[in-house]
A and B are shown apart, each in its own frame.
Chain A
Amino acid sequence: GQNIDQPTEMTATEGAIVQINCTYQTSGFNGLFWYQQHAGEAPTFLSYNVLDGLEEKGRFSSFLSRSKGYSYLLLKELQMKDSASYLCAVRDADYKLSFGAGTTVTVRA
């Protein structure tokens, strides 16, 4: 099974940078996903890492260290619309996703 931990809440100022950490313990690893979920809406895909290192996609970047069981999602130049929950999900050897409880990010003006 999977054990996935991420902070419950984070607050940051518009224009700033926020880093959301995710640690996991898994019996089999086949990739790590980050999803964004606005209140009352469906999760939407942000990023995917399967090899160690940094993946950059515009204002969002995601990092993975498989040996440490660690990932982070970096949100740069924060905008008000970035206020949402961010879900870390680990895929196991059978290609099933296990999700963390999510980190609620609040962006303040």
Chain B
Amino acid sequence: IAGITQAPTSQILAAGRRMTLRCTQDMRHNAMYWYRQDLGLGLRLIHYSNTAGTTGKGEVPDGYSVSRANTDDFPLTLASAVPSQTSVYFCASSRTSEGEQFFGPGTRLTVL
């Protein structure tokens, strides 16, 4: 079934640990995005990639890094997790940067 998958579904992490959230899409979409969703704040863009090999910073990039080695995968890494990074993380993709975005099921991350 075509779509976007994210792993893990949920994770509890100790502060200071390194964590990579995985995102894979099989729709051959060029553009991919990472958002975090916090109560009362809505979805906020962390990083994006308009095409394989390129990445850019969104609204809240600090403490996060991404890579886009190929079209399908767009991992998000927290180098040293802090409690303020507790959130639900959604990966999204679109055929081009101008297109409608499709969202993955999300990863619920708790940093203690």
Contact = CB atoms under 8 A, between A and B. Distances in A.
- Looking at chain A, what size class is its interface with the partner chain? 10 to 19
Interface stretch (B14-22, B61-69, B71-79, B98-106): B98-106
Interface in B31-59: 33, 35, 40-45, 48, 58-59
A36 B98 CA distance: 20
B44 A43 contact: no
A95 B100 contact: no
B103 A43 contact: yes
Interface residues of B, number: 21
Interface string A12-54: 0000000000000000000001000000011111001000000
Interface in A82-97: 87, 89, 95-97
Given A41-B105, A45-B100, A96 B44 contact: no
A97 B106 contact: no
A44 B41 CA distance: 18
A43 B41 contact: no
A20 to B, nearest CB: 14
Q: Which of B40, B43, B90, B97 has the most CB of A within 10 A?
A: B43
For the complex of A and B, the 7 pairs showing the least CB-CB separation, nearest first, are A42-B103, A99-B43, A99-B42, A101-B42, A95-B97, A43-B103, A45-B100
